[in-house]
Structure 1
Amino acid sequence: MAEYEWLSEVHALVGREYGRVYAWDEVNPMMVRHWCEVMGIENPLYTDPEYAKNSEFGELVAPPAMLQPWCLEGLHMNNYPPGSTDENPYEVLGLLEKQGYASVVAVNSELQFDRYLRMGEKLYYTTIIKEVSEEKTTALGTGFFVTQVMPFYSVKESGDEKVGELLFRVFKFRPARSKESFDNAQAADTQSEAKAATTIKRPRPGISDDTRFFWDGCANSELRIQHCKRCSGLQHPPAPVCSHCQSFDLDYRVSSGKGHLYSHVVMHYPEVPPFDYPNPIGLIELDEGVRMIAGLSGIAPEALEIGQRVEVEFKTFDDDLVLPVFRPESG
């Protein structure tokens, strides 16, 4: 088992409980109704006052699985309501990243519900660093399992009541293929370390007989969309069979590469090399009618607007990897 001097700082955080993060709103029927519509939940116990009145609860209650969403910050990152802590409960992950364990994969996310929530309750949660494992070697690489627990409470005059708990575990690791290069970089000076960090390459796409035409198209600056010879349907991502008529007789059509931004996310954390952050990712609806997920460039994340016109451009990474990204349409 490896034991590094810097691990003492990591271990010192185990058992620490960070301050409260409050919910913006009390548990309310409007948010419950919206959530049920999105999730396809039709239980009248959550949305029908008359039905709920005759239940064992005597009133509407919230779906247990809504426990975590009540305390989310909303559209803008770290936009928590007044009274919430400004501490960073993820600092232990930052300490591991400084030592080269920059990659991350979620391992467990377990919600525990102690009881149903009633309308009008105000919630908050705290974060506890429960455990940092010994250094482990897996197929992904070498790193540490970090376990955090977030207990949720309902504010009560008689004393706050625990109503549930979220356990979240991640694996922070050095990719197996880059461990040797990282160890060499540790022995070099600061400038050599910075140079070594820039050599981390982008993940390569998995290429099969069904998808090779798409990547060959990218290499030739063509955005190729799979086409069915039988029904003329288009589909993306590529598949071995037509999703419209189940025909195996497929080829491709070259897209204009233009469309509009149907939806998007902006990745902030964790920062995984070699990507730049904030990292905007778009769901593009092409003019041909199919949708495609791709990176966005040439526009600040805060300026993104649903529906704005975009067009493809092909960028080369690591000298030979050509990927389609989308930028605002010219003009």
Structure 2
Amino acid sequence: MKAGDEFATRLKAYEGRRAAVARAGRDPVNMPMIRHWCEAMGDTNPAYSGPDAIAPPTMLQAWTMSGLVGHTGRTHAYDDLLGLLDEAGFTSVVATDCEQEYLRPLRPGDEITFDSVIESISEKKTTKLGTGYFVTTRMDIRVGPDLVGTHRFRILKYAPIRRAGREQPSQPDRRQKPARPRPVVNRDNAGFWEGVEQHRLLIQRCTGCGTLRHPWLPGCNACGGPDWDTVEASGEGTVYSYVVMHHPPFPAFDPPYAVGLIELAEGVRMIGNVLGVPYDKVRIGLPVRLEFQEYEEELALPVWRVQEAEGMQGADT
């Protein structure tokens, strides 16, 4: 048997092994967590409040999280699998996607338990990041004996691509800056990025209740309607909140720089770089205007330039 075949056989032996058994949720389903979730998401659906409230379905995984204290019922199979991949040189990891299935709503007072299994390990795959294996785990969530939902989570464990004939620099080489990471485009947000390519900032609008929303979603978070059209943003906004990025350093960027949560005139909020003033002069409430900045071939991104900044010396980031 070839070494590669032997390694693949060792990996496949982990399929079906339990990663967690009969773990219990740290807290029962409860209204404070539901309220915090809805406030953070801007979700005003009336189904999530009042005496007959249910939990938002997308909170499914939230009830399984252990915080800093950890859970009992853990097995070593998943850690052993990742260790085996590390030893073979597949030392990097990136989360690729997750899928959830909802069988019935969760309600305040429900106490959940869950099991997790290593569902599948792919054949060796070559990606733009490097060569490695996709590992999928499935979590089954129950209330009493009843299955209420499943959560599948997939990662790629890979060996990063090394450029032939080049040493990895200990510090970023700013003479040849690496390409900026590309945005993740999927079936839910493709229309937004098509608009950006045309230098148009498109906002989803529910055709049922007229609610505008961003980021783009497959359904309305106000009325649940699945149908939508778009409106084009005027380009006016204000800095609602912001952070100044110092770490971690990444070769494609030049920290420090300001990233703002911008409230558009239309009422939705989105994130983008704030330009036109030094990073330490950005303040909540500053008026900004939309621009589209070309970074590399076939990459344009919406950014926000501070208005009425006469007399302030700034540098673009």
TM-score by length of 1: 0.52
After superposition, the Cα gap between the structure-2 partners of 1:126 and 1:234, relative to the gap in structure 1 and judged at 3 Å, is: same
In the alignment, is the contact (CA less than 8 A) between 1:46 and 1:62 conserved in 2? yes
CA deviation string 1:12-34 (max 9, x = no partner) = 11111231321111112222122
After superposition, the Cα gap between the structure-2 partners of 1:144 and 1:207, relative to the gap in structure 1 and judged at 3 Å, is: closer
Alpha-carbon offset, residue 69 of structure 1: 0.4
- The one-letter code of the counterpart of 2:54 is V
Match of 1:69 among 62, 73, 91: 62
Aligned partner of residue 4 in structure 2, secondary structure: coil
Partner of 2:8: 7
Partner of 2:49: 47
In the alignment, is the contact (CA less than 8 A) between 1:242 and 1:250 conserved in 2? no
Match of 2:116 among 116, 123, 127: 127
- How many residue pairs align between the two structures? 206
Alpha-carbon offset, residue 143 of structure 1: 1.0
| Structure (1 or 2) with the greater helix fraction | 1
Gaps of 5+ in 2: 180-245, 247-254, 259-273, 284-290, 294-302
After superposition, the Cα gap between the structure-2 partners of 1:109 and 1:203, relative to the gap in structure 1 and judged at 3 Å, is: farther
Match of 1:161 among 140, 146, 155: 146
In the alignment, is the contact (CA less than 8 A) between 2:14 and 2:77 conserved in 1? no
Partner of 1:100: 89
CA deviation string 1:18-56 (max 9, x = no partner) = 31321111112222122212221112221122xxxxxxx
Gaps of 5+ in 1: 50-58, 182-195, 209-213, 215-221, 254-291, 293-331
Q: More displaced, 16-25 or 65-74?
A: 16-25
Partner of 2:314: 252
In the alignment, is the contact (CA less than 8 A) between 2:131 and 2:158 conserved in 1? yes
Match of 1:33 among 32, 35, 38: 35
After superposition, the Cα gap between the structure-2 partners of 1:108 and 1:40, relative to the gap in structure 1 and judged at 3 Å, is: same
- The one-letter code of the counterpart of 1:117 is L
Alpha-carbon offset, residue 129 of structure 1: 0.9
In the alignment, is the contact (CA less than 8 A) between 1:132 and 1:146 conserved in 2? yes
Alpha-carbon offset, residue 153 of structure 1: 1.1
Which structure: larger Rg? Answer: 1
Alpha-carbon offset, residue 89 of structure 1: 3.0
After superposition, the Cα gap between the structure-2 partners of 1:105 and 1:207, relative to the gap in structure 1 and judged at 3 Å, is: closer
Rounded to whole Å, the distance in 2 between the matches of 1:64 and 1:174 is 35
Does residue 125 of structure 2 align to residue 147 of structure 1? no
Alpha-carbon offset, residue 116 of structure 1: 0.5
Rounded to whole Å, the distance in 2 between the matches of 1:248 and 1:104 is 46
TM-score by length of 2: 0.54
The share of aligned pairs that are identical, in percent, is 32
Partner of 1:310: none
